[in-house]
Amino acid sequence: MSENAAAPAAETPGVKPSRRWPAIIVGLCLVVGVAGGMGWLMHKSKTPAPQLAAEKLGMSRPDGLLETRSLSQLPKDLLAVPFLKETLTEDFVFYYETHADRLGLIGSLRRIIYEHDLKLQDTLIEQLFDQPADVALWRGADGRLKDFLLVMDRGGLAKVLEPLAKVALDDSQLSKIADVKVGADDVALYQLTYNASKALLFASHGDKLVVMSNPTKLYDPQSGVTQEPGSVSTQAIAALLGGDKLFPEAFGLPPRAPEVKQRLSVNASVLAMGYQRFIPNFAGLRFDMDDKGWHSFLAMDELDNQPDFDFKPIWQAMPMGASACVALPLAAEQQKPLLVKLGAEENVAQALTEHMAGAAGLCWYADSRLYTPLLVASLNDKDSVKRDDDLGKLFGSMVGAYEGNVEEHAFPVVEKQEGQVHQWQRQVSSNFGPYAAKDADDPDAITGKAFMRVSLARHGSTLLFSLDDKLVDKALGTLDKRFPPMADVVPKDVLMPIYFGPDAMAQLMQQETLDSLPQDMEPVFYNAAQTWLIPKLRTLGGYGKYALTLPEGSEPDGHWQWLPLMWKAL
């Protein structure tokens, strides 16, 4: 994030400018995970995404992209962020240098060099990692970035690597598996096995070296194989060896400028944790580093019937003291199929989607749980009371669990109405609930050891929902002006979709961590968390609150529109 973008409206005494944006990476990753929980945004892009040159050549769209002057410098460059420097240990810098796969690969190459008496320097790997490179990454079955395809400018190493090809026919770990056509040349594609079960593919031509981490993802386009995530055709390999820049196009990026040392781009599909269809506006995140430091950007996609970006009503309804918040434009008309699939009657789903308006927001609180955020949305009716019957039916059909000890197999919905407030609440048995079973009116009816009081409320035209009834009650108090709103602490008259409170977030994460590691059942992990994680969370909690804002008048226009993110210290 640029210094200008990060500068707050008013200086904060005693805080150095270099420390004004400590939570960029952690905060943004958290925010996108947060946004993934919102099922309110389900509509299609205005125009279909264009097919990429890479896709035409048989390479699936990457989920992440790293463009770097030097791979070996990346860990140290990340520590240029003050927050990361203080919360990560030196082990982070050396992690990849001592990783088992890296050591195994180095060991295999050194054995080949020694046994075949090749005249290669012992610092070959270090020289390779100190070159400019582009690395595309794809998610594995567990959702994490796993498979990669590296394209490197070899520079003076081109001649150095040639002797490896000569031993391919006479080595147990190195073998030639195919030829790819690059222009008029036939270029050999080699497979190197290491660490017994690991393998990678590589090929070199001219000044380019291409390395593929998962040989099973390589396919011949003539074979008729269906393209899967992470798949790469021999045709795409040939194009990369020929100098084609296939990766930046997948993220709507221009060529990396010479002054940019590191450029990291991540597709929203990674950070949204499978909920991307619910947040179609969000395309991805990017972090650039130059001589002035790190800069951050948000990518947006244009949508049909794009709602206005007005989040002020959200911050007026949200109680003060949140750990993190996100607000997104609400386009409701495409919610109907989702609501019907979840059990709502078709006419009820139709009526509600026609009367949803404005924006929706989520906030997490330290006195609640990570899985019980508060949701705020709005109705566009002048007389919102007309929607109460539909809201009650929707709540009754979608909220609940099978209760074997209850005659109707679900606890009844408790309905309350007072003034302009109408509230619906249902008790739901859950081991993750905030209330112990013994505290229920009928403890024997609870299935398990705990339960929730799931709540939906309408206050005027504002809708409130949470698995934690205490958050809904606090929000009702906020709307009744008995509790201060987030609007009192966030910047005025700016477009702020994100709020991040490191102190409250540290409390929430500490609570969740220790709750998942009972001391009597997980003493080793509990002690490790107390020794290593909790001090880092306390460091996180020492930073001030931040608002993430977009430039005034921001509105997506097409695909992959990159907008600068401005962090303001509060």
* φ and ψ at residue 84, rounded to 5 degrees: -70, -35
Check whether residue 215 and residue 97 sit in a common domain. Answer: yes
Check whether residue 7 and residue 89 sit in a common domain. Answer: yes
Distances (CA, A) of 27 to 24, 151, 295, 546: 5, 30, 14, 9
Indicate whether 171 belongs to any domain. yes
Indicate whether 209 belongs to any domain. yes
Check whether residue 111 and residue 24 sit in a common domain. Answer: yes
Check whether residue 485 and residue 362 sit in a common domain. Answer: yes
What pLDDT was estimated at residue 105? 52
Which residues of the chain are under the pLDDT cut of 50?
1-47, 90-99, 120, 158
Indicate whether 339 belongs to any domain. yes
Residue 505 structural domain: 312-399+459-554+561-569
Check whether residue 294 and residue 220 sit in a common domain. Answer: yes
Check whether residue 289 and residue 317 sit in a common domain. Answer: no
Of residues 375, 382, 337, the one with CA closest to residue 355: 382
Last residue of a domain, one of 272, 300, 328: 300
Check whether residue 290 and residue 325 sit in a common domain. Answer: no
Indicate whether 411 belongs to any domain. no
What pLDDT was estimated at residue 552? 75
Long-range contacts, 108-114 (Cβ 8 Å, 24+):
108/173, 108/192, 108/193, 108/194, 108/195, 109/192, 111/173, 112/164, 112/167, 112/171, 112/173, 112/174
Question: Taking a C-beta distance cutoff of 8 angstroms, is the pair 90, 76 a contact?
Answer: no
Check whether residue 181 and residue 326 sit in a common domain. Answer: no
The phi-psi region of residue 144 (left if phi > 0; otherwise alpha if psi is between -120 and 50; otherwise beta) is beta
Indicate whether 406 belongs to any domain. no
What pLDDT was estimated at residue 60? 85
Indicate whether 503 belongs to any domain. yes
* φ and ψ at residue 151, rounded to 5 degrees: -120, 120
Distance between CA atoms of residues 402 and 408, nearest Å:
9
Indicate whether 405 belongs to any domain. no
Q: Is 114 exposed, middle or buried (0-12, 13-18, 19+ CB in 10 A)?
A: exposed
Check whether residue 240 and residue 329 sit in a common domain. Answer: no
Tokens of 24: 């960029």
Check whether residue 187 and residue 283 sit in a common domain. Answer: yes
What pLDDT was estimated at residue 274? 58
Distance between CA atoms of residues 164 and 169, nearest Å:
10
Question: Taking a C-beta distance cutoff of 8 angstroms, is the pair 501, 490 a contact?
Answer: no
Tokens of 84: 């990361």
* Biggest alpha carbon–alpha carbon distance for the chain: 88
SS3 content of the chain, % helix, strand, coil (to 5): 35, 30, 35
Indicate whether 254 belongs to any domain. yes
pLDDT digits over 202-250, tens only?
888 888 888 888 888 888 877 666 667 788 888 999 999 998 988 998 8
Last residue of a domain, one of 267, 300, 333: 300
Domain total for the chain? 2
Check whether residue 286 and residue 317 sit in a common domain. Answer: no
What pLDDT was estimated at residue 470? 97
Check whether residue 141 and residue 204 sit in a common domain. Answer: yes
Last residue of a domain, one of 280, 300, 320: 300
